[in-house]
Amino acid sequence: MKKLFFALFTSAFIVLLSSCSDKINNNNNEPGRLVVKVTDAPFPIDFIDSAAVTIIKVEIRKAGDGIADGNPFMVIFEDTITLNLVELRNGIVDELLDIEIPQGKYDLIRLYVDKASLKIKDGDSYNVKVPSGQQTGIKVFIEPAINVEGGLTSELLIDFDLSRSFVMRGNLHKPSGINGFIFKPVIRAVNSTTAGRIAGMVTDTAKIKIKNPTVWVKQDTVVATTVGDTLGHYAIIGLPAGTYSVHATKENYDTVSFTGVKVVEGNLTVQNFILKKK
């Protein structure tokens, strides 16, 4: 896994973070360390060569008591970094930053995206507009809030869901082809200390591994999506502990679903799929 000078938007703008230490620190004024990593859940990548996002600033907010100006944003990164989200999927993360910040509970991160683009394999490149991404930033709530303690390290995962963030205009399978993309960022930020993961294999009824299956998890609404690799393996990381329904499909195959799938903090839940051709 390549470590970036400043790591972000993988997709996650996606990120695996965990709070760890076996000591108790009694210095209430000592800063804690925050590590931010990014992962991504891209839409079918069969025809996508790259999906790039350029980040120019990241801010984080300390949870306050509701008093005016009680929740100021702190700049934790201000530079320029471009990430290829296609390289960050199925459990692969890239480090966005590693920085000391004051102790406290943080509940919101704000990402400033300068530009985004997609390149089609053996085809054109498309630049997409980022609504207010450069001016006001993209606000992402951290659920649950992450607690940074003095002398300890906490990790945060930022997951950019490309399957829903880049909306294609046109149709790849028609002569007119693709007319462009609209960028509507779907991003989640997860406190990895309370998160687990779901992973598994997707095969057909003849036990043949299905290339690049689409897998998603729901808890009332869609929580996260990924596209498996060429060997049918998939992984969705940074899932808060709880019970989910998990779904898998592929073009020309039926959709298979499982309900009551439990995710436990810090653990892997294995869920395999067998898809039947239509």
Structural domain boundaries in the chain: 32-275
pLDDT band at 133 (very low <50, low <70, confident <90, very high): low
pLDDT over 90 at 248, yes or no:
yes
Contact 189, 158 (CB under 8 A): yes
Asked whether the CA dihedral 217, 221, 223, 229 is positive or negative, the reply is positive
Q: What is the CATH number of domain 32-275?
A: 2.60.40.1120
Q: What is the pLDDT of residue 199?
A: 96
Angstrom CA distances, 105 to 102, 145, 154, stand at 9, 6, 11
Angle ∠(267,269,274) on CA atoms, nearest 5: 165
DSSP character for 93? Answer: -
Q: Is 162 helix (H, G, I), strand (E, B) or coil?
A: helix
pLDDT band at 89 (very low <50, low <70, confident <90, very high): confident
| Least trusted range by pLDDT, from 36-50, 58-72, 86-100 | 36-50
pLDDT over 90 at 161, yes or no:
no
pLDDT over 90 at 26, yes or no:
no
Contact 49, 86 (CB under 8 A): yes
- 16: region left, alpha or beta (phi > 0 left; psi from -120 to 50 alpha): beta
Contact 83, 50 (CB under 8 A): no
Instruction: Count CB neighbours of 112 within 10 A.
Output: 21
pLDDT over 60 at 224, yes or no:
yes
pLDDT over 60 at 192, yes or no:
yes
pLDDT over 80 at 162, yes or no:
no
| Least trusted range by pLDDT, from 91-100, 103-112, 253-262 | 91-100
Nearby residues of 77 by Cβ (< 8 Å), 6 or more positions away:
6, 8, 55, 57, 58, 96, 97, 99
pLDDT over 50 at 10, yes or no:
no
**Percent of the chain at pLDDT exceeding 90:** 38
Mean pLDDT of 248-260: 95
The top-scoring range by mean pLDDT among 12-26, 131-145, 165-179 is 131-145
Residue where the block lists tokens 């060429």: 230
Mean pLDDT of 246-275: 95
Per the structure block, which two tokens stand in for 210? 């299905």
pLDDT band at 273 (very low <50, low <70, confident <90, very high): very high
Q: What is the pLDDT of residue 1?
A: 38
Q: What is the pLDDT of residue 2?
A: 36
Q: Calculate the average pLDDT of the chain.
A: 80
Per the omega criterion (within 30 degrees of 0), is the bond before 144 cis?
yes
DSSP character for 13? Answer: -
On whether the pTM is more than 0.85, the answer is no
Q: What is the pLDDT of residue 24?
A: 37
Contact 24, 114 (CB under 8 A): no
Mean pLDDT of 99-122: 89
Q: What is the pLDDT of residue 65?
A: 54
Q: How far apart are CA 85 and CA 101, in angstroms?
A: 27
pLDDT over 60 at 88, yes or no:
yes
